[in-house]
Amino acid sequence: MENPVTGPDRLPPMPPEQQTDAQRHADAEFRADRNHDVFGPFVPLSRSPQLMMHASRMGQFLRYGSSLPRDVSEFAILLQSRRWSQSYEWYIHAPDAKRAGLSDAIIAAIADGRRPEHLPEHLQVAYDFSAELNDARGVTDETYARTVAVFGEQGMMDLIGVNGYYAFIAMVLNVARTPLPPGHEPRFKPPRT
């Protein structure tokens, strides 16, 4: 059986002459917002220009504007990246996680699909909440209470946002089969089907 996440790029960059007016407008808006050309998951998302712009702004908020400490956000992003075997997401966020203060041992454990050892309490809470949310599709009262005690209601909601958003981005990248930049090898083998 064919593996649905391997193969050629399904949604590569579109030349401007093939873009609709809405796509060209979203391209320019993206460049103005991010001071960067459309890249990575936003290339396939550009097929739906409004979705691309809303996704871009949500991602900017979740990475740089949420109430969560940066190490928690990047930690949760890596957990989703690993859950979805998403090498492009990992390529972008593993260096950011290190800059945010995550140790090589924590990053390596996540890459290996293991629960990292000796996590500080706030990362233990983020791990438990994220794992339970993804595996059980909800959280127990105990996990909810611990998460709110550490991050507050807003932080708990922002942690849901990080989990959901980066699962969405991984889905986009996996469906589009967005390749890594030249010279980079996939971090993960594609998930088994």
pLDDT digits (tens, 9 = 90+) for 34-53: 999 999 999 999 999 999 99
Angle (CA) 30 87 163, round 5°: 70
Of the pLDDT bands very low, low, confident and very high (cuts 50, 70, 90), residue 77 is: very high
Tell me how many domains the chain contains: 2
Place of tokens 């990992």: 90
Residue 154 sits in the same domain as residue 74: yes
Place of tokens 């504007």: 65
* 147-183 pLDDT tens trace: 999 999 999 999 999 999 999 999 999 999 999 999 9
Spell out the residues 6+ positions from residue 140 whose beta carbon is closer than 8 angstroms to its own.
Answer: 132
The answer to whether the pTM exceeds 0.85 is yes
- The answer to whether residue 184 is domain-embedded is no
Please tell me what DSSP assigns to residue 184: -
* 86-96 pLDDT tens trace: 999 999 999 99
Residue 148 sits in the same domain as residue 57: no
